């Protein structure tokens, strides 16, 4: 019963993703969004709730479609492999010519205009914390398997990897090329302890 929607909900969400990705949460106005999505304001509110909820749906889609390499990287046989896949995969997403440069999450979490945007910012920070925690656990496993010296703190290494990634995101948003970011990732990997464990 009822009238059919005249637009594709997923397609419109994809268009919204492009806008949020380029402009950030605060920088994307409803006018930007509705024009890119090809729908009117009331349609947006009826379908997605409000700007904040639309962003959350967009963010979910972003993680599923563009950050899926993270889960895959966690299954690499070695810690070095995991970190390498993480940084290289991230570099590729950040400089994908099919999408705006940089990271949707980073672009929307740095400037803190205050008000409602602060909620979004905190949520993005929490999601990043979760990713760092996941990486930490992976490195703890690597340590328990003798891959890391016992005096290395996995939390420190997870934080370091995240920092390099966030820095690459900022540089990508500023125009860094894919090749440049790959070189950053390559150098970042050199910080890892020498191949030899205490002995395995």
Residues that bind a copy of itself (CB under 8 A): 22-24, 26-27, 102, 106-114, 125, 128, 153, 156-157, 159-160, 162-171, 173-176, 180, 183-184, 187-191
Smaller CB distance to a copy of itself: residue 1 or 198? 198
Rounded least distance, CB 46 to DNA, Å = 5
Compute the least distance from the CB of residue 8 to DNA, in Å: 10
Chain residues that interact with DNA, rule: CB under 7 A: 1-7, 28-32, 39-43, 45-47, 50-52, 116
From the CB of 194, what's the least distance to a copy of itself, in Å? 10
CB closer to a copy of itself, 3 vs 190: 190
d(C-alpha 1, C-alpha 3), whole Å: 7
Partner touching 30 among DNA, a copy of itself, none, CB below 5 to 8 Å by kind:
DNA
Select from a copy of itself, DNA, none the partner in contact with residue 41, using the beta carbon and a kind-dependent cut-off of 5 to 8 Å.
DNA
What does the block give as tokens for 31? 């006018």
Rounded to an integer, what distance in angstroms lies between the CA atom of residue 85 and that of residue 72?
8
Nearer to DNA, 29 or 144 (CB): 29
Euclidean distance between CA atoms 141 and 120, whole angstroms: 32
Distance in Å, CB of 55 to a copy of itself, minimum: 13
In the complex, what is the shortest distance from the CB of residue 129 to DNA, in angstroms, rounded to a whole number?
Answer: 26
Nearer to DNA, 6 or 196 (CB): 6
Residue 67 binding partner per list a copy of itself, DNA, none, with a CB distance cut-off of 5 to 8 Å that depends on partner kind? none
Q: Which residue from 32, 155, 164 is spatially nearest to 88, judged by alpha carbons?
A: 164
């Amino acid at each position: 019963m009822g009238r059919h929607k005249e637009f594709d909900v997923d397609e419109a969400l994809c268009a919204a993703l492009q806008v949020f990705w380029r402009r950030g949460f605060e920088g994307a106005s409803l006018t930007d969004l509705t024009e890119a999505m090809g729908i009117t304001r009331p349609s947006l509110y009826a379908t997605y709730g409000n700007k904040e909820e639309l962003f959350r749906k967009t963010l979910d889609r972003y993680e599923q479609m563009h950050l899926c390499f993270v889960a895959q990287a966690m299954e690499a046989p070695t810690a070095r492999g995991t970190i390498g896949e993480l940084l290289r995969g991230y570099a590729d997403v950040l400089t994908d010519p099919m999408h705006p440069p940089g990271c949707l999450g980073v672009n929307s979490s740095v400037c803190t205009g205050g008000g409602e945007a602060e909620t979004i910012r905190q949520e993005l920070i929490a999601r990043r914390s979760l990713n760092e925690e996941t990486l930490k656990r992976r490195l703890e496993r690597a340590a328990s398997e003798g891959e890391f010296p016992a005096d290395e703190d996995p939390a420190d290494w997870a934080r370091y990897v995240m920092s390099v990634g966030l820095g690459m995101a900022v540089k990508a948003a500023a125009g860094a090329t894919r090749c440049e970011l790959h070189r950053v990732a390559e150098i970042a990997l050199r910080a890892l302890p020498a191949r030899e464990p205490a002995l395995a």
